[in-house]
Structure 1
Amino acid sequence: MRRPSVSVLVMIGSSPRPLCPRPGRGENNTYVCSVSYRGSGRHYVPRFSMSAPSLRNALVSAAAAAALVVPAVAHADAPPGTVVATRPATSAEGVTGAATVQYVTYRTQNSLNQPATAGALVYTPPGAAPAGGWPVVAWEHGTVGVAENCAPSLAGLGDDTYPTLISTWLAHGYAVVAPDYIGLGTPGPHAYLDGHAEGNATVDAVRAAHGTTPGLSTRWAVVGHSQGGQAALFTASEASSRAPELDFRGTATYAPGASVVDLMLLVGRPGLPDVLSPDMKAYGVYALLGLSAARPDFDLNSYLTPYGQQVLARIRPLCLDAAVTALDGVDIAAMFARPLAEGDFEAIARPVMDVPTSGYDRPILIAQGDADTDVPAPLVYNLVVQLYAHGVNPDVHNYVADDHETILTTARSTVDTYLDTILHATGDTTSTGSAGAGSSVSAAGSAAGLSSAGSGSADAGLESTALSAG
């Protein structure tokens, strides 16, 4: 049977362009069409079964609907934070209590200050905005993968833990901006753990949200978990200078990815016993792929055996759960032709992935579980020691029995109290990192990675003399 001839022209700018000149043939007489037009990325029409005239009508309707949600197309060199397009989100992804949810694509920059496009979900709480607008919480998610389709806006927010966090902030009267990061949900590659790219995308997402969403306050804070915790600290180091028109108030992180390069130097070598969990293997492979994406001139293959190159190629398109499964039984040591400690790996990787230890001007809270095997506590406490050494004084709350996931539930009330404090504070909000009178982990204890303050409860002193709740 011959494929029906379908060619639909749609006006984009001043010229008609074919919307779907060659629909693909699917199973059971279905047709698949990839719809694209300048400035909006790729839009997909799901599989469907219909005649050629019906297909033509459906495509025209899809084009008309897309045109309704695309504002003035941003030029490639438009300033960071410029909106490219908006559309209603397909669902709230398990989040309850959102009055509106929209997906915004916007212009940003990677860590080489090259222009890029990223996307973010924007949630608003119910009711009328208060005087001054809803304060904004920027949410930076944990590891999902490096392929475009792994984006939370496309693949979902995971189990109910992340949606619960967002729902709680909405109930507190905050709007939430949840960036995907560059290369997730938009054309890649995604430079995993490229902190400055993540920070740029987050600051610019908040800027873009102000351009599309009425009722937002200029006051905002950032919260992140795992990869997102590392991203949140990079965001904090540049938020005030990158977007001085906004009123950045501070940062909270759950189990932030820390001391990443130190760990890679330790385990990235031939002859390593097979002691890494499949999850840690996935993070390591993603980190190698991320560095290669962040610094395309870096010769990663010079460190890899042919087997290692095959592993990276196999994992690149897989999202986290599938990657973890695929890496079970993979011999990481056999991937390396020489140690990462040789050559220029360290010099290239540290500026990309190592969390800044100075440059902060707002409060920081770090919540870490001692039972965490994804981001082991000593790696985070090593970062804390470096922060203290550079005059940054975060509030650090450690939880003896919590792991990488349970920390999100156990520490939630502490983080929420902290957010309420900094987002409703009056007076001088400038800080060298601490929003509290004391940290739950002392600098000396952090150096050993052993200090414990028990449960890390929310009464650890969240107000400093520079902050007064209002």
Structure 2
Amino acid sequence: MHLVPTGLRRAAAIATLSTLTLSNWPTGFAQTQASSNMTTGSAGQMLAIEPLAPAFSLANASKAYAIWYSSTDGTAAGNDQAVQLTTSGAIFLPRGLPPAGGWPVIAWAHGTVGIGDSCAPSRNPRSERDAQYLNNWLKEGYAIVATDYQGLGTPGPHAYLHSRAAAYATLDSLRATLNTKELPLGNKIVIVGQSQGAAAAFATAGFAPDYAPELKILGTIATGTPHSGRPSKDGKIAYRSSPAEQKSTDPSIAYILYIAAVANQSKPRLPAEQVLSEKGLGAMKAAETTCVQQMFDVVKKEQLSWSNTFKSDFMSYYAQPFSKGQFPTLKIATPVFFGIGGADRDAPTKFQQDLAEQSCEAGTVVEAHTYPGMDHSQTVNSSFPNSRLFARKLFNGEKIAGNCVAKQEMLSLR
């Protein structure tokens, strides 16, 4: 672990950061990297770092950097020789002098932004919701390390909702930044994620003990976590099952179109024409390059519903891609905070509550809060008053009691 010097030496470290560019790495890396995404060496090494464009920074950040680092291909794990890829991301440092030992770290796992390279968060301004949320974490005195995920902003397909790929990208971003001596970061980490990123965060906590045991992961904060829920008595997962829901325009179809687009290009390929209508195929083509907010607009403009987008059971057809999103374990070694929107339709409230209950049953210390009336997006910032206290306790070394025993409290507490 890199220990930041104290006093005047710490101030000197800040001065070093102010001039940190690509003096040790090739300039223009993002524009000049080879079309192949494979790299040599071990995972978790910093390949390039440069100041992040001001428009892509955060108001409460003293410094912001774009990074490129080596990461293990999570989609190829299990092979005798793991493939190393280049993955991109960003770092945001809070204002002031770092404490002895370096800034405590929030590992940010972002929600769905799209699957095209142009959608990578480090290449764009953060959404208003995310900017508010991340600025709040910076204000608390935490540095933020934010991966773009495998294949998002770098060559190769984005491994959308692939739990192992997201976990490796997150863990390797932490390794790379902690191994960069010019960055005053401490090895005290809380993983935080929303939606796609909540699944990534929970998976990262599960993979961390085996994949990156040197990282001191203190806990996890997940809001809007996708989960299949508990099967019904007939063994099926109910989703948008009523006739009215089937025929209504539903923006969340955008997420399934991203899954379809990735599966349509994967090896082996899952032909989208087997499950999507003509209307759905046209929208899927748009999903290949269209970022999520604009994709919601496409769904609304085309009035896409579950009944006119799919011509067969997409849950069964995409069972294999969905299985890649399964968590390695529900027994997490460190405490987990679940923020659940009481009016979440994108990651249904009941399914998230099922995940909290199942995690409790597996032996995880869970602190779960359900926020009445809050939808998928609103829950992010609505949960912050609770999650900031959860994180503060973790960084201070305090015990998290959890609320697994009081089931009703767990499912309704604000």
Unmatched tracts of structure 1, length 5 or more: 1-18, 20-33, 43-73, 430-434, 457-470
* Closer/same/farther in 2, CA of residues 265 and 400 from structure 1, 3 Å limit: closer
In 1, the alpha carbon distance for the partners of 2:405 and 2:223 equals 14
Out of 352, 355, 368, the residue aligned to residue 383 of structure 1 is: 355
Give the structure 1 partner of residue 403 of structure 2.
438
User: What secondary structure does 1:403 align onto?
Assistant: coil
Matched, 1:174 2:174: no
In 1, the alpha carbon distance for the partners of 2:101 and 2:244 equals 56
Give the structure 1 partner of residue 412 of structure 2.
452
In 2, the alpha carbon distance for the partners of 1:382 and 1:191 equals 25
In 1, the alpha carbon distance for the partners of 2:230 and 2:256 equals 10
Matched, 1:364 2:336: yes
Give the structure 1 partner of residue 60 of structure 2.
97
Q: Which amino acid aligns with 1:78?
A: G
Out of 284, 287, 292, the residue aligned to residue 312 of structure 1 is: 284
Out of 326, 330, 342, the residue aligned to residue 304 of structure 2 is: 330
After TM superposition, give the deviation of residue 266 of structure 1 in Å.
5.1
Q: Which amino acid aligns with 1:300?
A: P
Instruction: Provide Cα deviations, 1:361-406, integer angstroms capped at 9, x if missing partner.
Output: 1110001110122222011012223223322241111111222222
Give the structure 1 partner of residue 10 of structure 2.
none
Higher RCO by CA contacts (8 Å cutoff, separation 6 or greater) = 2
Unmatched tracts of structure 2, length 5 or more: 1-27, 78-82
After TM superposition, give the deviation of residue 35 of structure 1 in Å.
8.7
Matched, 1:282 2:254: yes
Contact 2:253–2:305 (Cα < 8 Å) also in 1: no
How many residue pairs get aligned? The number is 373
Contact 2:102–2:184 (Cα < 8 Å) also in 1: yes
Q: Which amino acid aligns with 1:110?
A: G
Give the structure 1 partner of residue 75 of structure 2.
111
Q: How does 1:225-240 map to 2 (within 5 A)?
A: 225-240=194-209
In 1, the alpha carbon distance for the partners of 2:30 and 2:381 equals 41
After TM superposition, give the deviation of residue 355 of structure 1 in Å.
3.4
Give the structure 1 partner of residue 368 of structure 2.
396
Higher deviation after alignment, 307-316 or 204-213? 307-316
Matched, 1:88 2:51: yes
TM-score when normalising by structure 1: 0.71
In 2, the alpha carbon distance for the partners of 1:289 and 1:403 equals 26
Instruction: Provide Cα deviations, 1:159-205, integer angstroms capped at 9, x if missing partner.
Output: 1x312222222222211101111222222421221111111111111
* Closer/same/farther in 2, CA of residues 382 and 357 from structure 1, 3 Å limit: farther
User: What secondary structure does 1:201 align onto?
Assistant: helix
User: What secondary structure does 2:136 align onto?
Assistant: helix
Higher deviation after alignment, 172-181 or 85-94? 85-94
After TM superposition, give the deviation of residue 220 of structure 1 in Å.
0.6
In 2, the alpha carbon distance for the partners of 1:35 and 1:92 equals 17
In 1, the alpha carbon distance for the partners of 2:111 and 2:224 equals 10
After TM superposition, give the deviation of residue 150 of structure 1 in Å.
0.8
Q: How does 1:245-324 map to 2 (within 5 A)?
A: 245-259=214-228, 274-292=246-264, 295-301=266-272, 302-305=274-277, 307-324=279-296
In 2, the alpha carbon distance for the partners of 1:381 and 1:35 equals 41
User: What secondary structure does 1:279 align onto?
Assistant: coil
* Closer/same/farther in 2, CA of residues 36 and 174 from structure 1, 3 Å limit: closer
Contact 1:282–1:327 (Cα < 8 Å) also in 2: yes
What's the RMSD between the two structures over aligned residues? 3.2
Out of 155, 161, 171, the residue aligned to residue 193 of structure 1 is: 161
After TM superposition, give the deviation of residue 331 of structure 1 in Å.
4.6
After TM superposition, give the deviation of residue 336 of structure 1 in Å.
3.8
User: What secondary structure does 2:97 align onto?
Assistant: coil
Contact 1:151–1:180 (Cα < 8 Å) also in 2: yes
Q: Which amino acid aligns with 1:438?
A: N
Q: Which amino acid aligns with 2:389?
A: T
TM-score when normalising by structure 2: 0.80
Q: Which amino acid aligns with 2:142?
A: Y
In 2, the alpha carbon distance for the partners of 1:342 and 1:214 equals 46
After TM superposition, give the deviation of residue 333 of structure 1 in Å.
3.3
Higher deviation after alignment, 232-241 or 299-308? 299-308
In 2, the alpha carbon distance for the partners of 1:97 and 1:423 equals 20
Q: Which amino acid aligns with 2:282?
A: Q
Give the structure 1 partner of residue 16 of structure 2.
none
After TM superposition, give the deviation of residue 290 of structure 1 in Å.
3.8
User: What secondary structure does 1:122 align onto?
Assistant: strand
Contact 1:97–1:170 (Cα < 8 Å) also in 2: yes
In 1, the alpha carbon distance for the partners of 2:165 and 2:30 equals 28
Out of 216, 220, 227, the residue aligned to residue 185 of structure 2 is: 216
Contact 1:222–1:250 (Cα < 8 Å) also in 2: yes
Contact 1:218–1:246 (Cα < 8 Å) also in 2: yes
Contact 1:397–1:441 (Cα < 8 Å) also in 2: no
Identity %: 25
